[in-house]
Structure 1
């Protein structure tokens, strides 16, 4: 009977050892897979840098090219809060805005003209209708009108569109 107990204990140790080995292999294989899937090679980074070098990393204000360079976001310092008239009743609207620009030159231009951009956006927002802003199509139309007006002002002042997109990062209507 003592021999049978020893055999059972030895078999239990081998089973535990096999489980530990299998777990270690799974962990190592998972780590290797994550490394290969998530880690990029140096060749990929060289390709990206070569493409950026060909496109021009930072457009100058004189070229007027808003489509090349790195996308940067300029946040308006405070949200726009205003009353918007509607057919049934007036509504209070709060809109948080960020501007997408390309390159550091455009970013600096946008930052230096924030009061002008805020004034332009406020004019567009205050001319809107609450009934239109309830719908998704109305919000898209407001965003597109904002972009057109901001680009026109920046073209007039800086000689370039500067702003590529006007993004609503917060939109609350009560």
Structure 2
């Protein structure tokens, strides 16, 4: 019986040591993960960014005059009917325009009625069968961008809008 108690005490000490080792390992891994995910990133010098831009992006260079991305929201959502093979559908799309720089933002805001008219023309030419698929939505967004850029190019003489973003899309 005394031998049995001695073995239990030794087993208990080994179990406690294993538990302590496991806790230390888990804390070390957790600390490393926290450092990796929450640690600050170092600033990259502009020379390094320019070198990366030349090689990694296929010859595109970084332009400091581009400006920051700003978003111009259309004042109201677009609501329109689209024909479908089974039945007509009602669609509501909320749109924002991504522009670069304050000058482009002001131009876009100034020409919102023309942009709305252009977008309505593109949206009304679509069909419900196309808008059910993701490919159809992407194609309509791309066509919207091309048409808005074309219309603003005629008026402002430059590309004002960089992207047309659908921030809300409902089809019933």
Task: Check whether TM > 0.5.
Answer: yes
Quickly say closer, same or farther: Cα 1:7–1:93, change in 2 above 3 A. same
1:83 counterpart SS class: strand
Q: Distance in 2 between matches of 1:121 and 1:127?
A: 10
Quickly say closer, same or farther: Cα 1:24–1:41, change in 2 above 3 A. same
Tell which deviates more after alignment, 159-168 or 123-132: 123-132
Deviation at 1:35, TM superposition (A): 2.6
Deviation at 1:160, TM superposition (A): 1.6
Residue 17 of structure 1 is matched in structure 2 by: 17
Residue 78 of structure 1 is matched in structure 2 by: 76
Q: Distance in 1 between matches of 2:17 and 2:162?
A: 61
Give TM-score, length-normalised by structure 2.
Answer: 0.68
Q: Which runs of 5+ in 1 are unaligned?
A: 60-68
Give TM-score, length-normalised by structure 1.
Answer: 0.67
Residue 162 of structure 1 is matched in structure 2 by: 160
Residue 31 of structure 2 is matched in structure 1 by: 31
Residue 148 of structure 2 is matched in structure 1 by: 150
1:46 counterpart SS class: coil
Residue 65 of structure 1 is matched in structure 2 by: none
Alignment RMSD, CA only?
A: 3.4
Quickly say closer, same or farther: Cα 1:120–1:26, change in 2 above 3 A. same
Matched, 1:55 2:53: no
Q: Distance in 2 between matches of 1:139 and 1:8?
A: 69
Deviation at 1:92, TM superposition (A): 0.9
Contact 1:120–1:149 (Cα < 8 Å) also in 2 = yes
Q: Say how many residue pairs are matched.
A: 162
Q: Distance in 2 between matches of 1:104 and 1:58?
A: 12
